Structure 1
Amino acid sequence: MRTLFFCLFLLVGLQPLVWAQTTIGVEPIDKLVAAMQTQSVAVVQPYLLAETQVSGLPTTYTAQVLAQMLPRFKKAENPRLIRQTTEGVNTRYVVALTQNGVEKEYDVLVTPANKLLEINLLKAEAKKMDTRFGAQDLTTPAEVVMPIRVQNGLLIVTAEVDGQRGDFFLDSGAPALLLNKTRFGSSASGSTVAARQLRGVNGAGSSFDYYHATDFNWQGISFQNRDVPTLDLTDLARRAGVSELLGLIGYNLLEQYALTLDYAAQTVTLRKPTPTASAEGLPFIMRGHLPVVEALVAGHTLRLALDCGAQQNLLDARFAATFASQLRKSETVQLAGADQKARSVTSGELRKLQLVHGPTFRNQPTVFASISHLNQKPDQVVLDGLLGYPMLRQQRTTIDYVNKVVRFEGQ
């Protein structure tokens, strides 16, 4: 069997956490407590799923995030169960913990099989970090054309932070710029930053942090004196086949532009378009930072997000049986999950995928795996999957974030 590594960066945010040194009688939560006491993710790993999320962070990082948070949990005490509520077939537990005489509540979502689906144990500290850029905060040239390198289906560009120049992933599926914590450690001031969304990915000590960038420049797109969230990207770079990363470039540096991806020419163009109500192209809706289009597969209408950070086209596992007859070269492959374990999923070439009012794409390499972690918020459009490298490489594609249209040009 082949093993696939699926790279997704749908970052939201975190908040600092503490945990107790005793148990409450709910098995997966007790194991999480034991992991905190022993400073070992291995204790709770059997209770993690591919879909397990820590405070909305990408599932790719779940085990890594837990490992980085463990040192923050030593002073919590007196855990007690506040309440439990049913959410579909799952159960949400709200637990109170006391630290330094202050009691706070946290929640965990548990499946009927006693697996942890959500671990929401982070609480905000005083300062919040906003990753959004105002017009006065970011220098944005009218047009930038830059070379790219395609590595295992991912786009690599070059940028510079405080005199360090190197590789960044270009990932439209990530909401914000992210720096590699191994290269950009805590700010010299020692200040801490926290947040509820990726407008504040952080923590202190060995957990999440931020870096105060004095000067950032990506082909003329630049800013000065901004706090930028950091995360250790070492394992991600290794599995994606990149020797070292300085960081990841996401939506907050792209949203003022029309982004043209040309895999054949190995270039990316960013052009500031004129806002117009009648822009040429296929309209899309924005789901947070993701552009979502509709597509037809075997008579089914699907809502799919465009994401140049997705190494594979991805459809939710519930469609595997439905579209079995539409697959060429169907096989079972191993897909690496949040718990670092590989799981068997269906993979194949989808014979025909037609964008509604748009072009048709044939023989599209597609993986079928659960994306329930992308549909946790009830107020957001439900996604059926992602369209990434296999589709975007076939035609020159322009994602116009200003006018909310996508254009495809044959190559």
Structure 2
Amino acid sequence: MIILFRLFMVVILTVLSVFTKAQAGIAENDSTGSKSAKLLAPVKKYTPERIEIPFTVHNGIIYVQASLNGKEGTFILDSGAPELILNSDAENIEYDSSYKSEAGGVGGKVKKSGSAHIQSFDWDGITLSEGNMLSVSMAHLTRKKILGLIGYSVFSEYALTFDYKNYSIIGQLNPSLAQEKALNGVLLATIPFEMYKHIPVFPMEIDGKTYHMGLDSGAASNVLYEKYVSELKESIIRFKESDLTGIGGKTKAKKGHIKTLKVGDVSYKKLGFIFENDMLDNLNRKSTVKIDGLLGYEFLKQYITTVDFKAREIRIYKK
């Protein structure tokens, strides 16, 4: 699932770069040679001081409820997605195929990509209104009926606290550290991060070696470059190769568990990783920030973790 999902997002980023230019009124040639029309981006109408979101988890993916055009539905919460992206296969999506931009990438192509007009979007009080969003087919991602992905731009002003034990996400615009500690327990570590586009990047240590990891709530498994396997062979257990299905078909992937790794002063034991190169090479293309891998569900579920996007720091708690 992780390879499928992340390859999908790498392709989406290519489509989105064209789509964003269209929203800004910059003409782009599509695959048919015609030029895209100007698209109107939705307006963020309201951001409440505090949000509290219940969620469910299936195969390491976070599912939440939100309202689109007045109707409640299921979305995937994915900080690895840059913004709200709608599922063109959903019944109540006003999919517009006249705006087309086909993008290719590792694993295949997103064939059904266009725009969708939204009248309103409401996620626990965070509201968007009247605009066009990127809309692509998500039939291969999950068997669940989803309306789309809730990405970074929707919650970028917040400090988000992930509590997997209670299946709850709390977001605060102006977090009080004292209140946060009272709610979450002992503060184990505070880790500053830098941003690569919409992805927080911070150091992870394994056996004295440092790797720069991106945080991605949509990553069902952690990912690390395959090229590091040889230097980490003493730290990897249960190593094996298996078939994984991606956008373009089956692909080989190496899996294993890291005995011990550290983020800040916090130790994590036996976290599972997928080791691969292609997806991370695509993610790093033209990047000024090096990303050696991604940390997702397996990382976030170990402790209560607050990701403060405005302060650019991660705070790790234990009750």
Q: Residues 165-203 of structure 1, C-alpha deviation per residue, up to 9 Å, x if partnerless?
A: 11100001110101110121435xx8648799xxxxxx9
Q: Distance in 1 between matches of 2:98 and 2:223?
A: 40
Report what 1:293 is aligned to. 202
Report what 2:224 is aligned to. 315
For the Cα contact (< 8 Å) 2:39–2:132, is it kept in 1?
Answer: no
Measured after TM superposition, the shift of residue 401 of structure 1 is: 0.3
Q: Distance in 2 between matches of 1:282 and 1:381?
A: 17
The higher relative CO (CA closer than 8 Å, separation ≥ 6) is in: 2
Report what 2:136 is aligned to. 231
Q: Distance in 2 between matches of 1:350 and 1:381?
A: 24
Q: Distance in 2 between matches of 1:296 and 1:258?
A: 25
Q: Distance in 2 between matches of 1:56 and 1:328?
A: 42
Report what 1:262 is aligned to. 163
Measured after TM superposition, the shift of residue 275 of structure 1 is: 11
Q: What SS does structure 1 have at the residue aligned with 2:141?
A: helix
For the Cα contact (< 8 Å) 1:308–1:389, is it kept in 2?
Answer: yes
Match of 1:365, as an amino acid?
G
- RMSD of aligned alpha carbons: 3.0
Match of 1:284, as an amino acid?
F
1:271 aligns with 2:272: no
Q: Distance in 1 between matches of 2:230 and 2:68?
A: 47
Report what 1:151 is aligned to. 58
Answer 1 or 2: which has greater strand percent.
2
Q: Residues 32-60 of structure 1, C-alpha deviation per residue, up to 9 Å, x if partnerless?
A: xxxxxxxxxxxxxxxxxxxxxxx899xxx
Q: Distance in 2 between matches of 1:369 and 1:362?
A: 21
Match of 2:229, as an amino acid?
A
For the Cα contact (< 8 Å) 1:330–1:348, is it kept in 2?
Answer: yes
Structure showing greater Rg: 1
Q: Distance in 2 between matches of 1:6 and 1:181?
A: 18
Measured after TM superposition, the shift of residue 302 of structure 1 is: 0.5
Q: What SS does structure 2 have at the residue aligned with 1:237?
A: coil
Match of 1:216 among 121, 124, 135: 121
Report what 1:251 is aligned to. 152
Query: 1:220 and 1:229, CA in 2 relative to 1: closer, same or farther beyond 3 A?
Result: same
Q: Which moved more, 1:178-187 or 1:379-388?
A: 178-187
Match of 2:38, as an amino acid?
K
Report what 2:89 is aligned to. 182
Query: 1:146 and 1:129, CA in 2 relative to 1: closer, same or farther beyond 3 A?
Result: same
Measured after TM superposition, the shift of residue 394 of structure 1 is: 0.4
1:384 aligns with 2:289: no
Match of 1:127, as an amino acid?
K
Q: Residues 317-345 of structure 1, C-alpha deviation per residue, up to 9 Å, x if partnerless?
A: 101222121112222222333421231x2
Measured after TM superposition, the shift of residue 273 of structure 1 is: 2.0
The number of residues matched between the two structures is 286
Q: Distance in 1 between matches of 2:154 and 2:291?
A: 24
Match of 2:303 among 388, 395, 399: 395
Match of 2:271, as an amino acid?
Q
Q: Residues 42-99 of structure 1, C-alpha deviation per residue, up to 9 Å, x if partnerless?
A: xxxxxxxxxxxxx899xxxxxxxxxxxxx965xxxxxxxxxxxxxxxxxxxxxxxxx6
Query: 1:192 and 1:296, CA in 2 relative to 1: closer, same or farther beyond 3 A?
Result: same
Measured after TM superposition, the shift of residue 299 of structure 1 is: 2.2
Report what 1:127 is aligned to. 38
Query: 1:56 and 1:397, CA in 2 relative to 1: closer, same or farther beyond 3 A?
Result: farther
Report what 1:7 is aligned to. 5
Q: Distance in 2 between matches of 1:163 and 1:210?
A: 19
Q: Distance in 1 between matches of 2:54 and 2:112?
A: 34
Q: Distance in 2 between matches of 1:4 and 1:383?
A: 17
Q: Distance in 1 between matches of 2:35 and 2:298?
A: 39
Query: 1:130 and 1:225, CA in 2 relative to 1: closer, same or farther beyond 3 A?
Result: closer
Measured after TM superposition, the shift of residue 7 of structure 1 is: 2.3
Match of 2:288, as an amino acid?
Q
Q: Which moved more, 1:288-297 or 1:329-338?
A: 329-338
Q: Distance in 1 between matches of 2:303 and 2:35?
A: 43
Q: Distance in 1 between matches of 2:35 and 2:14?
A: 10
For the Cα contact (< 8 Å) 2:4–2:247, is it kept in 1?
Answer: no
Measured after TM superposition, the shift of residue 246 of structure 1 is: 0.8
